[in-house]
Structure formats: structure tokens, C-alpha cells
Amino acid sequence: MKFVVAMMKHETNSFSPLPTPLSSFGRTGGHDGPLYGSHVAEVYEGTNNPIAAYFDLAREEGAEVVTPVAGEAWPGGPVSDDAHETFVQAICDAVTQGCDALLLDLHGAMVTESFDDGEGELLKRIRAVAPDLPIAVALDFHTNMSAATVENATVITGYRTYPHIDMHETGLRAGRTLLRALKGEIMPVIQWGSLPLLTHMLCQTPSRQPMKDVMDMAIAAEAQGRVLNASVFGGFPLADHPHVGVSAVVVGNGEGGPANDLKEALLELAWDRRADFVYALEPMEVSIARAKSLDDGPIVLVEHGDNCGAGGNQDVMAAIEEIMRQGLTDVAVSPVWDPAAVAQMIDAGKGNEITLDIGGKTDMPAINLKGQPLTLSGHVQEITDGRFAVTGPMMTGMQINLGRTAVLDCGGVEIMVSEERMEPFDLGVFRHAGIEPTERKYLVVKSRQHFRAAFEPIAKHIVEVAGPGVCSSDYDLFPFEKLRRPIYPLDPDAAR
Ligand SMILES: [Zn+2]
């Protein structure tokens, strides 16, 4: 047998000012674009990613594997048409040369310059050249599911964790079902539905309610063999198109029956709990004052409005400024994205004093917010190449590249500055620069949930800080135009 295995991943924030060209699709290796051919397996084999599970399954089956392309970019603004077309062409060309199955590792929330639904468009184009090809698709929990995706896939599974630590398992689930179909043991049929429900990402995680019971229902049905696969998707709310919402996707053996019943039950339970998916915002000054009153650290301050893992610039300084204004000390701040400041700090040299503007170099016109740098003085404590291997449970084994990175010690507050963006989901982000996170009283992370993968086990307290940015949880800031309406909670009386 011959399998085509490919990856195309981007979570697009419609309100992000940052472009996403082809060169961005080198998440762990800087701005060098996607991987092609044999380089794909070199980087991803043995890692906690769906694509790595596909390699494992192919090996078990003794199948030949063709890897036309694999790339993932940090969340940001719409993907360039050129980048999307490069992925589509590479995958369609490989499929056209003949194969027994296609195994895809996609995100599910890609918006391009021309298409609201980057994955649906990819799958439509593949179907046009391969009408009967069995296609397995593993998707992120933040997928905004579309008819085009469902109708052109044979099997779909999604991550059931957030932070996403079951990436490999998600690939195994999709791949195993597809292999059974290839052998004629089953006939996968997908049942799905999507709710007009704009959740808050801080209330989505399946590890806690209200989502826990919904996801547990899906997990139990799949584990008991009542359906082939069952997945629930929280959706990515910082996008402006008609597919945004919570969805359920159940793969049954044959038409209707248990799969359809389960899909309905999942959607009904999520909808009944819709009010619990709304996050109660607290002014950041209040959150930071509360953090200041706590005694034992590490206390993780989660600055979720400027999280690059949801499309944030990672250079908004307002929360850091407030933390300094309130006089918190023994603070380490995860990377602020500012290549120019890194260059200045490297020019100044390790150990030397410098005064410079950090962050705030990017305007956010969609939410009417101007970038505001923070002028800081301190000494350059460390300079690194920004490279480390992930040891925590999320994307375990991947090599991370922050680009050149420097740490400014402002006297009680250590601020990391890096050339590349990265959500801090692994302790290596601090440790590679000589900062031991367990020894600091306060850790500021520009993250929302993924920090929990590695930081929750070491945290004595976690305090959410609602700083400004394009992934704010204040939906009144965003000029939504293309969502389906009515949608809850923007329209409180919305019906299913
Ligand atoms: Zn996600």
C-alpha cells in the first residue's frame, strides 16, 4: 500500500494585523517555510503530533509513505493565497500520482485571503482529482467545522484536550479507522452539526466544565465501540466567517443510528450549557492587585489578551507595565516579540546597561488599538540562540526556535525578548535562558490555556490577567461582520 501523508496547519485570527506568508510555515524552525519530501519525517517522526501517528501506522502496515508537504505557522492574520495554493498543489500532485489513502494533519481554523475555509477548499480540490480516495483528517480542538470539510473526508477526529496533549492519539484514532475501512471491515459515515455558539476560549477546555461532560460523553461512546470516532470541537471564536462555532463530529459504521443520536446528544448538552461558556472579565488592575496579595509562588500571571497561540502580536506591553507600576518583584516574563529590541540588546552586550523601547511595535487597527512600546532600563542578563527541545507533554520532542533571544533584568523584573513568536507551553522557554521558573515568585506568560501543559504542575496560583490585544475575551471589541446570526452570546436569544 501507498499512503500520502501531509500537514497544513494555521489558526487564523481575522483581527490580527500580522500577515501569514508561506515563509511563516516553519513554526519550530523560524521563517523558512514548510518542509517537503523526506525532511517531513526527519522533523516530525516520533513527536506528539498526528502526522507522527500516521508514520507509525504506515510502518505497522508496511506501507510506502509519500510526504509532499508539512507546515504549521503560529496563529496570526489570514494566510496568503500563495501559501495556501502551495499546500493544495503539493498535496493534489502527490495524490494524482496514485495512492491508497491520504492521511492529513490539519488545523481546521484556517482562513486565507480568498477563502473563509482553507481546509474545506483543500479537501474540495483533492476530491476533484480523487473522487473515491479514502481520506483521514485529524483536526485541532479549535476547528470551525464546515460542510466542505465533512463532505470531502472519510474519517475525522479532533483533539480532545486543551492544552493539546493528545495530538499523536488523535492521529492514531483517525488513521486506525481509515485502515479498517481500507480493509473492508467497516463503512465510515460522518454525522455532524455545528452550534451558533461563540464560546470564550478560557471556558472551553474539556478538562473542566462546562465542556468536560460533553467531551466525556464523546470519549465514552468511542471507547465502548458504540461509534467509530466521536469528537467535539470548541471552535475558534476570533474569526469572522459563517463556520465559527462549537461542533460535534461522529463517525459511525454505516448510515444513521447511534452516530446520529450521539451527535444530537453532544450538541444538545453543549447548547444547554451555553451560558457557562461565557467568561466573566475582570479588569487587569484588579487581577494584578490580587496576585500581589498572594504569598507563595510560583504565581503564574496569564496574560491572555495577547497570546500568539490565538493570533496575538505577543508585543502588547500594557499588562507588564501595570505589573511594574504595582511594584511586583521577583517576576520573569515569557518572550515579548520584538526583533529590533533583541538586536539592540545584543549590540549592548551581555552584562551591560541599556535603556530601550520594548514591544508595542505593531498597531491593531481591527480593534482600534495602537502599539505602545514600554521604555525600560536594565542590564542585559542573558543572550541565547532561542533553541530548545520540548520536554513537557505538549508537542513533546519538537525543537523550538525563538530566534535570537535576550533577557533584560530591570531590577526585580526579568523580561525575555525574542525574534520569533511562541506561546510559552514548555518550561524550556525560561530554562534555556538560565531562568529557573520554579524559583521565581511570579511568571508572566502570554498564553491562555497551553501554558497549563507545563506550568500548572509547578504553579501555586494561577491568575488570569485580561490585558489588551487581538485575542481579548471582550467580544464587544471585535467588528464581527460575517458570523452567522443570531449567534450566542452576541445575540442572547439565539436558538439552535
Ligand atoms: Zn487549538
Q: How far is the CA of 71 from the centre of ligand 1 (A)?
A: 15
| Same domain as 262, residue 305 | no
Q: How far is the CA of 139 from the centre of ligand 1 (A)?
A: 9
Confidence of residue 62 (pLDDT cuts 50, 70, 90): very high
Q: How far is the CA of 322 from the centre of ligand 1 (A)?
A: 29
| Chosen domain end from 243, 277, 311 | 277
Report pLDDT for 256.
76
- Residue 43: pLDDT above 70? yes
Q: How far is the CA of 350 from the centre of ligand 1 (A)?
A: 37
pLDDT digits (tens, 9 = 90+) for 97-134: 999 999 999 999 999 999 999 999 999 999 999 999 99
Q: How far is the CA of 216 from the centre of ligand 1 (A)?
A: 18
- Residue 30: pLDDT above 70? no
- The arithmetic mean of pLDDT across residues 77-94, rounded, is 98
pLDDT digits (tens, 9 = 90+) for 320-356: 999 999 999 999 999 999 999 999 999 999 999 999 9
Q: How far is the CA of 68 from the centre of ligand 1 (A)?
A: 24
Neighbouring residues of the ion ligand 1, judged by CB less than 5 Å: 140, 142
pLDDT digits (tens, 9 = 90+) for 143-181: 999 999 999 999 999 999 999 999 999 999 999 999 999
The rounded distance, in Å, linking the Cα atoms of 171 and 462 is 31
Confidence of residue 397 (pLDDT cuts 50, 70, 90): confident
Q: How far is the CA of 164 from the centre of ligand 1 (A)?
A: 7
Report pLDDT for 449.
92
Q: How far is the CA of 287 from the centre of ligand 1 (A)?
A: 25
- The arithmetic mean of pLDDT across residues 35-40, rounded, is 95
Report the candidate in 309, 467, 477 with the shortest Cα–Cα distance to residue 490. 477
> To 10 degrees, what angle do helices 50-61 and 167-182 make?
40
The rounded distance, in Å, linking the Cα atoms of 213 and 206 is 8
Q: How far is the CA of 234 from the centre of ligand 1 (A)?
A: 9
- Residue 186: pLDDT above 80? yes
- The arithmetic mean of pLDDT across residues 370-397, rounded, is 95
Least confident piece of the model among 8-12, 201-205, 256-260, 371-375: 256-260
Q: How far is the CA of 461 from the centre of ligand 1 (A)?
A: 24
Q: How far is the CA of 64 from the centre of ligand 1 (A)?
A: 30
Confidence of residue 28 (pLDDT cuts 50, 70, 90): low
Report pLDDT for 226.
96
Domain contains 487: no
Q: How far is the CA of 381 from the centre of ligand 1 (A)?
A: 33
Domain extent, residue 386, equals: 284-472
Q: Model-level pTM?
A: 0.94
Q: How far is the CA of 97 from the centre of ligand 1 (A)?
A: 32
pLDDT digits (tens, 9 = 90+) for 263-318: 999 999 999 999 999 999 999 999 999 999 999 999 999 999 999 999 999 999 99
- Residue 29: pLDDT above 70? no
| Same domain as 270, residue 315 | no
| Chosen domain end from 244, 277, 310 | 277
| Same domain as 289, residue 251 | no
Q: How far is the CA of 75 from the centre of ligand 1 (A)?
A: 10
Average pLDDT, the chain: 96
Q: How far is the CA of 141 from the centre of ligand 1 (A)?
A: 5
| Same domain as 145, residue 111 | yes
| Same domain as 181, residue 72 | yes
> What total of structural domains would you count in the chain?
2
Q: How far is the CA of 245 from the centre of ligand 1 (A)?
A: 14
| Chosen domain end from 253, 277, 301 | 277
Report pLDDT for 27.
63
Report pLDDT for 395.
85
Contact 379, 351 (CB under 8 A): yes
| Same domain as 218, residue 109 | yes
Q: How far is the CA of 206 from the centre of ligand 1 (A)?
A: 12
Q: How far is the CA of 327 from the centre of ligand 1 (A)?
A: 34
Q: How far is the CA of 140 from the centre of ligand 1 (A)?
A: 5
Q: How far is the CA of 159 from the centre of ligand 1 (A)?
A: 8
- Residue 260: pLDDT above 90? yes
Q: Where residue 192 sits, what CATH number does that domain have? A: 3.40.50.2300
| Same domain as 294, residue 270 | no
